[in-house]
Amino acid sequence: MDFTMDNISLWNFMLQMGIIASILILANIIRRRIPFIRKMLMPTAVIAGFLALGLRLTGVIRLDTSLMEMVTYHTIAIGFIALSLIIPKKEKNYSKLVTGSKSGALIVGGYMLQGTLGLLVSLGLAYTIRPDMFKAAGILLALGFGQGPGQANNVGLTYEALGFTGGQSFGLSIAAMGFLVACTVGVIYLNFLRRKGVFKKSKDGEITHENFTVEDFQNENEIPVSESIDKFSLQIAFVLMVYLATWLLASGLTVMLRATESEFAMSLIPIIWGFNFIFGALLAVALRGIIRMGRNLGWVNRQYQNNYLLSRISGFAFDLMIVCGICTINFEKLAGLWLPFILMCVLGTFGTLFYHKIMCKILYPDYYYEAFMSMFGMQTGVISSGILLLREIDPKFETPAATNLVLGSSFAIGFGVPVLILIGMAPRSDIFVFITLGCCIVYFFMLLAYMLLLKQRKPKLKE
């Protein structure tokens, strides 16, 4: 085998990852050393993504965009699988379940609102000044703003194959704009709250010291750090094994759907593969349950998952996903799409802002500002954007706002199942786009009713 530079297939992946890693480190230095950038509270991965995009477009570096798209696709699944393998804390009282359920409904309600606004724009343009507009394009507002570059990339590619020219770049551009909204509108509103005296300014949102105990790194009865197999290697093995099972499950579903020869069933196949991370998360939860059952029955003597290492795997995967997702944006493919892009982003920003201002005041009256900043940051960027905004107003995480993001995201997987059907249904025909729009509106109000009724209930249960 040729191990020299002439063997491009041997070196390409490592060289491309080396370039991304170097840009990520450079972005971290920029964020730490330039006060203006640091005060924007933009995540380092987002800065690295825009930096890589600029360097690629100016020809300074050459990035394999096909490889970057592949990395974006796989890392979102790896990140969710690692998160789902984490062993949750045992506290499961009624109030925590109710709060998590409300937060999950709030998050998915945000998706429905964003999807409704996006579809109103794409349909409005398609039936007026842009008859060639892909009518289902508005769904990408909910995916880009609400769920980040990974899902926007996957569904954008799917829609591009169905006739939406520039669909992938459109979705990724909306996701990138979502990060900018979180880090500009969010910071502007934070400064407004600070002038009102709601909170005192922290040191640029930076955590200078964190208190950890041994339990944060290793729980009781865990396997040693390095035995016959390194503990980190075992965590990676669990994640990749679940991802293999995810591929087998998605492949089996694909075979069954193709066997039906139904047009609707065939339209679901790209959605299954585009949202493979949901199947991966569910399988990871199942594996976690199997291991727990084995310990309860005495078949398994040690705890094999390590929450700290699994969190680091998911953090690495999501950082890589953001960098690779943003750097593949192709502005040339956005030619003719700037008007819907601007309209969707403006409506999405104000719609998300006012929705969370109203609902957070109702659902979280005791810590409204903290809940609002965290939820707005997450529903225009990703969960790290929400945490960064929250750190400014609640640096020690004294309120449950940070916990709500995690609990809410877990419940949102269940509440979000209908979203998969809507995404697959929307591009089938004009009538299905309108049906999707109607379903988004109906489901939005159903979630509102659920949150408000759940809030009014006052159970007398012991904690």
How do residues 299-338 score in pLDDT, each as one tens digit? 877 778 888 888 889 888 888 988 888 888 777 777 788 9
Average pLDDT value for residue range 276-285: 85
The rounded distance, in Å, linking the Cα atoms of 297 and 275 is 34
In angstroms, the Cα distances linking 247 to 74, 254, 255 are 11, 10, 12
Question: What are 151-173's pLDDT values in tens digits?
Answer: 788 888 888 888 888 888 898 88
Three-state DSSP class for residue 226 = strand
At residue 329, φ and ψ (nearest 5 deg) are -60, 130
Q: What are phi and psi of 400, to 5 degrees?
A: -80, 10
Residue 334 is classified by DSSP as G
Specify burial of residue 186 (Cβ count, 10 A radius: 0-12, 13-18, 19+): buried
pLDDT confidence band for 347 (50 / 70 / 90): very high
Q: What is the pLDDT of residues 221-240, one digit of tens each?
A: 666 666 677 888 889 999 99
- Is the confidence at residue 271, as pLDDT, over 70? yes
Q: Region 371-380: what's the mean pLDDT?
A: 90
Q: How far apart are CA 328 and CA 53, in angstroms?
A: 7
C-beta of residue 436 within 8 angstroms of C-beta of residue 422: yes
Which helix (DSSP H) or strand (DSSP E) does residue 229 occupy? none
Residue type at 28?
N
Give the pLDDT confidence of 181-206 residue by residue, as tens digits. 887 888 788 888 878 877 665 554 45
What distance lies between CA 342 and its chain's CA centroid?
Answer: 22
CB 138 within 8 A of CB 122: yes
DSSP labels, 76-124: HHHHHHHHHHSPPPS---HHHHHHHHHHHHHHHHHHHHHHHHHHHHHHH
HSE, CB side, 13 Å, CA atoms: give it for residue 102: 24
Structural tokens at position 324? 């690779």
Q: What pLDDT, in 10s, does the model give residues 28-84?
A: 999 888 888 877 767 788 889 889 989 998 989 999 988 988 898 898 889 888 888
Give the model's confidence band at 126: pLDDT under 50 very low, under 70 low, under 90 confident, else very high. very high
Residues 84 and 239: beta-carbon distance below 8 Å: no
> How sure is the predictor about 123, in pLDDT bands with cuts at 50, 70 and 90?
very high
Report the distance separating Cα 43 and Cα 31, nearest Å.
9
